[in-house]
Amino acid sequence: MEFVEIAASQWAILAGGAALAGWIDAVIGGGGLVLIPLILAVAPQLAPATALATNKLAAVSGTASAAYTLVRKVRPPAGELVRYGAVAVVCSGGGALAASLMDADVMRPLIIVLMVAVGIFVALRPSFGEGDAAGKHYGWRTWAGAGAVAAIAFYDGIFGPGTGMFLIMAFTAIFSQNFLRSAAMAKVVNTCTNVGALVVFIAGGHVLWSLGLVLAAANIAGAQLGARTVLGGGTKLIRYALLSLVIVMSVYLSWQQWF
């Protein structure tokens, strides 16, 4: 286990960043874009694997917290959440095992294209995401939902960016439900996809627990605020957040790919 000395001012910066990341993750996802670079900037002596693992501990805690708050309010079908959660854990683990076989330089352009397509679709279909509050959870939709979860969880294990957004889009399209209900389901599934990675990090001894637990507490605080922001803003807020994420993630991945 690494030892790292962090000043009080740096603790404050990291805690603030973790809270902001938790809020972003709860609203739409992508908090790692804030917290991972911040950890590496404040504590450059940390190995990248340690930064990723410590961020994952914080992110799992915050996402699980937001999922609990949203599920209590929105009440998506519990049976499907259990099934999809199990599928997510298995498939994300499979993706993690396959990650070494995939080239990130090949994945990024594909994801950029998908994200831009999602953004255009949502922008041109203002009624999308404002469907039935209860959704249609029966017949072929249940199997289609499981297939979508399997594919997205596998992708999360391999690469990851935009997982929450893709889950919201898939659940909204398959179950003809509103963004709010889809967001609640996505948070549960996204928590499960992250658990597998965290277990691997813990087994490898990469988590810096002294830092990770503090960031987890701050992340939970931000996630709770984010969950309440989502509940207050409803589907309209999620639509704007989704479009914003498309722009930010597309620029970020493009920068990584070509600059």
Q: How many CB atoms lie within 10 A of CB 38?
A: 21
Q: What angle is formed at CA 238 by the lines to CA 226 and CA 215, rounded to 5 degrees?
A: 25
The pLDDT, as a whole number, for residue 3 is: 59
What are the angstrom distances between the C-alpha of 151 and each of 90, 118, 129, 170, 206?
Answer: 11, 17, 21, 11, 27
CA-CA distance, 183 to 106, in Å (whole number)? 29
What pLDDT is attached to residue 50? 86
Q: What is the pLDDT of residue 2?
A: 56
* pLDDT for 166: 92
Q: Is the pTM of this model over 0.75?
A: yes
Low-confidence ranges of the chain (pLDDT < 70): 1-4, 99-100
Contacts of 148 (CB under 8 A, 6+ apart): 167, 170, 171, 174
Closest residue by Cα to residue 121 from 28, 243, 234, 237: 243
pLDDT score, position 100: 64
- Looking at the DSSP bridge assignments, the partners of residue 103 are none
